[in-house]
Structure 1
Amino acid sequence: MSSSNSTNSRDTILDAAAAILTKHGVSNVSIQATATAAGITKAGLIYHFKTRDELLSALLERMVTELDAQIGLPVSDQPQIVSPQAKIAELADFTFDMPASQKQLLANMLVAATAHPHLLPQVQALFSRGYDTLGRSPNPALFQLLSLAMDGLLLLELLQLHKFTPDQRAAMRETLLELARELP
């Protein structure tokens, strides 16, 4: 199997696992169900992922990489100069404009990470990168607090603990952006 075909097969498998996770939750992500959804044999899936845990870990790794790109986090260890106002605006767009399907996938991935503690370090690293990036701003505590507010909002919604009205969400977004614009 060529490297390109191997990468395509791996992506197809991860797409299938993500679809199952989004629609049915982590308990339904199995080797057999994923192979069936990907249109390959169980042996074909096991060629790429020996266990369900390897499959879940690879899926989470891909999601973290996509989230890093989506919210503009640095992908290397090189410190990057970041405009805190621009970063808060990016985070606000991410938080307030997230499609329902992505919310469902993230919620189910959080369930997977808490049910499988070996997956937590990847999620923890994602949050650390975000807060570390804002920690290099002129007023790190305030920018981190604004980010924390958005993380809290998103987690409340992902875990279906509270649903804010559209008017409340719009007012919160504008207030966050206003606070960010007023800072140095």
Structure 2
Amino acid sequence: MKKDALLDAAEAVLSEQGTQALTLNAVADRAGVSKGGLLYHFPTKEALVQALVARVIEEFDDLIASYDDGSPGSYTRAYVEATFAVLTDGSRTYRRWSAITAAATDPELAEPLNEAMRRWHGRDPGQDSDPVTAMAVRLAAEGLWEVVSHAPELYGDAQLAALREKLLSLLQR
């Protein structure tokens, strides 16, 4: 069995049953493998959570990169576009992110997330025509992600589209 399939099973357990249910036995059962088969790839629950965290960070980094054309201010625009792509993709990807971050409660497990946040939000704002607005827009997008992960019904598609347009328009001033 491939590592990605095991990570998919772990994500499913987290998303459907919460962090308390994330055990190696539950993941092995969900993946349809023996516990030994899971342990071959992930010798501890911590190793499994580390791999889950690394995967979502890499996916979001890749998504940002797909929107970033390298022009002045493009990183913040790309961050907004990537955020809204996740929030509106219909598969509730943002819930996956929330479940994984909730599982990374130990400071050592959370450090890669902390480092990613430092990278995403600590970018040199000098590349933006209005650095303070760029920081505020990234923080607004981050806050929206947090709200939607806890109350997905709060904003409909039209509201999310309007929020995306507003945030992007703030970057054009």
Unaligned runs of 5+ in 2: none
Q: What is the root-mean-square deviation in Å for CA atoms of aligned residues?
A: 2.5
Aligned pairs, number: 168
Structure 2 counterpart of 1:149, from 140, 146, 161: 140
Q: Normalising by structure 2, what TM-score? A: 0.82
State the shift of 1:124 in Å. Answer: 1.0
Q: Normalising by structure 1, what TM-score? A: 0.78
Correspondence for 2:150: 159
Deviation string 1:78-135 (CA, Å, 9 cap, x unpaired) is xx9943543333223222232342021012122222x333221111111111123353
Is 1:130 aligned to 2:120, yes or no? yes
Q: Name the amino acid aligned to 1:90.
A: A
Correspondence for 2:49: 56
Structure 1: how far apart are the matches of 2:72 and 2:98?
Answer: 27
State the shift of 1:55 in Å. Answer: 0.9
Q: Name the amino acid aligned to 2:9.
A: A
Correspondence for 2:170: 179
Q: Give 1 or 2 for the bigger CA radius of gyration.
A: 1
| Misfit runs of 4+, over 6 Å | none
Report the identity percentage: 29
State the shift of 1:136 in Å. Answer: 4.3
Secondary structure in structure 2 of the residue aligned to 1:97: helix
Unaligned runs of 5+ in 1: 1-7, 74-79
Q: Name the amino acid aligned to 2:108.
A: H
Structure 1: how far apart are the matches of 2:59 and 2:143?
Answer: 20
Given that 1:82 and 1:137 are in contact with CA atoms closer than 8 Å, whether structure 2 keeps it comes out as no
